[in-house]
């Protein structure tokens, strides 16, 4: 079997060969608030500042999942400087929106590309006391540099779908080397941990703690805002289709047309996953004959409005709080699903398509509690919505069951924080 070092050398050579294509992709994935030079780890040197905790959350989904962890780290380790990195511009925007500078002593950078020199420069300038990777993104050269510089690496909320596992098996020597740098992996489930150990994680470095996604911050202010929005939109059935993808919006609109045959006043709040698709989805709605209001333009749905396009960032939870039912996207197309717990935590009935590869454990937990309504296509989604619109008691039962599941599974955040504190202490005493 190929040695991990040899595999990483071949991987680095391939990165250099593909560097023009990689840089073109990075040139497009840009935020005006960040310099492109950050992709090569040209960042400020942290030598004179407080010790640093570095947390990486690839994109919007990981940032949202990590939100309670970041908030807790900022509170419990205020003597450290917290640096958060993302790969995507939308992830960067979420960090800025959720953690404003006036409230959080937090710095955001783009993660450098995984070239050996950039990885060495990033760790040398950042000098992290601890590295925390959220979910799965394991960059071989960055992790190898952490290992050489004796930086403990924690993988928080670690998950690995069976599909991803099968893909990673094809580059097993490379992953074995990357996982060899991990000090502690806090897995969402025993199945996730088994997959990581099969790829090379030392069993004693892994622990099942559950998903920190169950530790969603839900407060009275959010619920009040949802109630205010629903009142503003009128006494009609409101459903949200959140985090939808290309090829899925058409199915959602077909389901809405089916629902409106029996409930003509029903309102759909459609929230595409990616902001670059907002305009295209608006055009799609208008082409389908929907009476459209756009949130980004400050338009309030009237009695004649059939679709409110949620073309803003950071409002999905607010929309879920205002809903009578919620469909979670990425599931009627083969994306793997998105966070089913967001509407469930608010006591909103959850509907989903069949593609749930990224959330199998959470889906199974909701399924066992009879807190999940699963459909396979647009027609079935429309029929399920019509049934829920006619049956407030069923909506209350589904919503209460989902909320109870979230409440019963909280606690992974505290276990993760304890594991992080232990590794920080070990590092401080080294």
**Residue among 38, 62, 93, 290 flagged as catalytic:** 62
Give the single-character DSSP code of 92: H
Q: Which of 292, 342, 293, 290 is nearest to 321 (CA)?
A: 342
Q: Whose CA is closest to 340, among 313, 360, 311?
A: 360
Q: 190-199 in b/e burial notation, b at 16+ Cβ within 10 A?
A: ebbbbbbbeb
Q: Look at residues 144, 67, 76, 135 and name the one whose alpha carbon lies nearest to residue 84.
A: 67
DSSP 8-state assignment for residue 315:
-
- Which two three-digit tokens encode residue 69? 């962890």
CB atoms within 10 A of CB 264: 9
62 is catalytic: yes
DSSP state of 297: G
Torsion, Cα of 251, 253, 258, 260 (10° steps): 160
User: What are the Cα distances from residue 113, in Å, to 107, 120, 130, 134, 261?
Assistant: 18, 11, 20, 17, 51
Q: What are phi and psi of 399, to 5 degrees?
A: -65, -45
- The residues, ordered by sequence, that sit 6+ positions from 1 with a Cβ below 8 Å of its Cβ are 172, 173
Nearest to 108 by CA among 120, 126, 90, 96: 96
Beta bridge partners of 328: 242, 352
55 within 8 A of 132, measured Cβ to Cβ: yes
Helices (H), 81-211: 89-98, 116-126, 140-148, 162-169, 172-180, 190-199
Residue found by looking up tokens 């097993």 in the block? 172
Q: Which of 314, 370, 321 lies closest to 343, judged by CA?
A: 321
Where helices occur in 234-277 by DSSP H, the ranges are: 249-262
Q: Which residues are known to be catalytic?
A: 62
């Amino acid at each position: 079997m190929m040695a991990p070092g040899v595999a990483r050398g071949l991987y680095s050579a391939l990165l250099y060969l593909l560097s023009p294509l990689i840089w073109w992709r990075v040139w497009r994935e840009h935020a005006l608030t960040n310099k492109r030079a950050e992709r090569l780890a040209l960042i400020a040197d942290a030598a004179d500042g407080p010790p640093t905790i570095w947390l990486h959350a690839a994109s919007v989904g990981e940032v949202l999942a990590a939100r309670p962890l970041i908030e807790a780290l900022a509170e419990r380790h205020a003597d450290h400087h917290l640096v958060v990195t993302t790969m995507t511009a939308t992830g960067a925007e979420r960090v800025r929106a959720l953690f404003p500078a006036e409230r959080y002593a937090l710095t955001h950078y783009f993660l450098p590309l995984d070239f050996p020199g950039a990885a060495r420069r990033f760790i040398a300038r950042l000098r992290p006391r601890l590295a925390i990777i959220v979910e799965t993104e394991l960059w071989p050269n960055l992790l190898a540099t952490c290992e050489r510089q004796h930086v403990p690496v924690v993988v928080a909320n670690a998950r690995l779908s069976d599909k991803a596992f099968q893909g990673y098996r094809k580059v097993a020597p490379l992953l074995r080397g990357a996982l060899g740098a991990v000090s502690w992996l806090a897995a969402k489930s025993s199945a996730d941990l088994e997959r990581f150990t099969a790829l090379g994680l030392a069993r004693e470095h892994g622990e099942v703690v559950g998903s920190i996604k169950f530790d969603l911050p839900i407060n009275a202010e959010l619920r009040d805002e949802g109630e205010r929005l629903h009142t503003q939109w009128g006494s009609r059935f409101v459903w949200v289709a959140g985090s939808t993808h290309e090829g899925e919006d058409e199915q959602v609109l077909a389901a809405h047309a089916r629902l409106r045959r029996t409930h003509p006043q029903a309102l759909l709040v459609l929230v595409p996953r990616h902001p670059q698709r907002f305009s295209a989805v608006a055009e799609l709605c208008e082409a389908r004959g929907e009476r459209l209001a756009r949130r980004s333009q400050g338009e309030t749905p009237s009695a004649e409005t059939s679709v409110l396009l949620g073309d803003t960032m950071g409002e999905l939870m607010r929309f879920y709080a205002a809903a009578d039912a919620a469909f979670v996207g990425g599931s009627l197309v083969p994306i793997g699903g998105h966070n089913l717990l967001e509407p469930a935590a608010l006591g909103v009935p959850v509907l989903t398509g069949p593609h749930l590869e990224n959330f199998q454990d959470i889906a199974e937990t909701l399924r066992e509690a009879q807190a999940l309504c699963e459909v396979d296509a647009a027609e079935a989604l429309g029929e399920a919505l019509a049934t829920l619109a006619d049956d407030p008691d069923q909506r209350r039962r589904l919503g209460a069951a989902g909320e109870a599941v979230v409440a019963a599974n909280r606690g992974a955040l505290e276990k993760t924080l304890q594991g992080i504190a232990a590794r920080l202490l070990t590092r401080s005493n080294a």
